Structure 1
Amino acid sequence: MITSKLQNYAQKPERTTHRGWLAVAGKLLVTALTLGLLWHSVFADAATAAAWRGLLASTLTGQGRTPVLLALALVPVNWGVEAWKWWRLARHLEPVSFRRSFRAVLVGLTLGFVTPNRVGDYAGRIIELKSRRLDALGAVFLGRFGQLVVTVLAGTTGLTYFLLTFYLQEFPATALGVVVAAVLVNAAVLLPLYRSRLLLAVLMAVPPLRQFHRFLAVMPTYPAKAIHTVLALSGLRYGVFCLQFGLLLQAYGAHAPLGPGAAAIAGTFLLKSLVPSLNALADVGVRELSATHLFGLLGEPVLPVLSASLSLWVLNIALPSATGLVFVLRLKLFRKKKVAPAKQQTLVETQAASL
Structure 2
Amino acid sequence: MLPAHLNDGVAHNLGAGVDAHDDLLGRGQPLEGGRGQSAGNGHVAQSYAPAPPGRPRRGPRWVTLAKIGVTLLTLGLLYHSVFAAPDTAAAWRQLLATTLGGAGRGPVLLALALVPLNWGLEAWKWQLLAQHLEPGHSFGRSLRAVLLGLTLGFATPNRVGDYAARILELHSRRRLDAVGAVFLGRYAQLVATLLAGGAGLLYFLLKFYLVGYPAAQVGVGLAAGLGGALVLLPLYRSRLLLAALALVRPLRRFRRYLAVMPTYSAAELHATLGISGLRYAVFCGQFLLLLSAYGVRGPLGPAAAAVAGTFLFKSLVPSLNALADVGVRELSATHLFGLLGQPALPVLSASLSLWVINIALPSALGLLLLPGLRVLRERRAR
| TM-score relative to the length of structure 1 | 0.79
Shift of 1:332: 3.6
Determine the structure 2 residue equivalent to 1:210. Answer: 252
Post-superposition CA distance 1:252-292 (Å, at most 9, x none): 00012111000000000000000001111121111001000
In structure 1, runs of 5+ residues without a counterpart are: 1-40, 340-355
Q: Does the 8 Å CA contact 1:51/1:310 hold for their aligned counterparts? A: no
Alignment of 1:1-355 (within 5 A): 57-58=97-98, 60-94=100-134, 95-131=136-172, 132-333=174-375, 335=378
Q: Does the 8 Å CA contact 2:112/2:357 hold for their aligned counterparts? A: yes
Shift of 1:220: 0.6
Shift of 1:166: 0.3
Post-superposition CA distance 1:77-102 (Å, at most 9, x none): 00000000000100111131100000
**DSSP 3-state at the match of 1:91:** helix
Work out the CA distance in 1 between the residues paired with 2:299 and 2:353: 21
Work out the CA distance in 2 between the residues paired with 1:143 and 1:61: 39
Q: Which has the larger radius of gyration?
A: 1
Q: Does the 8 Å CA contact 2:99/2:293 hold for their aligned counterparts? A: no
Runs in 1 of length 4+ with deviation above 4 angstroms? 45-56, 336-339
Root-mean-square deviation (CA, aligned residues, Å) is 2.4
Distance 1:337 1:195, change over 3 A: farther
Post-superposition CA distance 1:12-55 (Å, at most 9, x none): xxxxxxxxxxxxxxxxxxxxxxxxxxxxx9xxx99799999678
Q: Does the 8 Å CA contact 1:52/1:311 hold for their aligned counterparts? A: no
**DSSP 3-state at the match of 2:342:** coil
Q: Does the 8 Å CA contact 1:86/1:101 hold for their aligned counterparts? A: yes
Q: Does the 8 Å CA contact 1:107/1:328 hold for their aligned counterparts? A: yes
Work out the CA distance in 2 between the residues paired with 1:338 and 1:66: 47
Q: Does the 8 Å CA contact 2:99/2:294 hold for their aligned counterparts? A: no
Distance 1:190 1:71, change over 3 A: same
Shift of 1:120: 1.7
**DSSP 3-state at the match of 2:256:** helix
Determine the structure 2 residue equivalent to 1:21. Answer: none
Distance 1:51 1:129, change over 3 A: farther
Work out the CA distance in 1 between the residues paired with 2:222 and 2:270: 25
Work out the CA distance in 1 between the residues paired with 2:198 and 2:128: 28
The number of aligned residues is: 296
Distance 1:62 1:183, change over 3 A: same
In structure 2, runs of 5+ residues without a counterpart are: 1-74
More helix by share: 1
Post-superposition CA distance 1:199-233 (Å, at most 9, x none): 11111111111100110111111100000000100
Work out the CA distance in 2 between the residues paired with 1:108 and 1:50: 37
Work out the CA distance in 1 between the residues paired with 2:302 and 2:320: 31
Distance 1:300 1:97, change over 3 A: same
| TM-score relative to the length of structure 2 | 0.73
Question: What letter matches 2:293 in structure 1?
Answer: A
Post-superposition CA distance 1:95-118 (Å, at most 9, x none): 311000000000111111112232
The percent identity for this pair of structures is 71
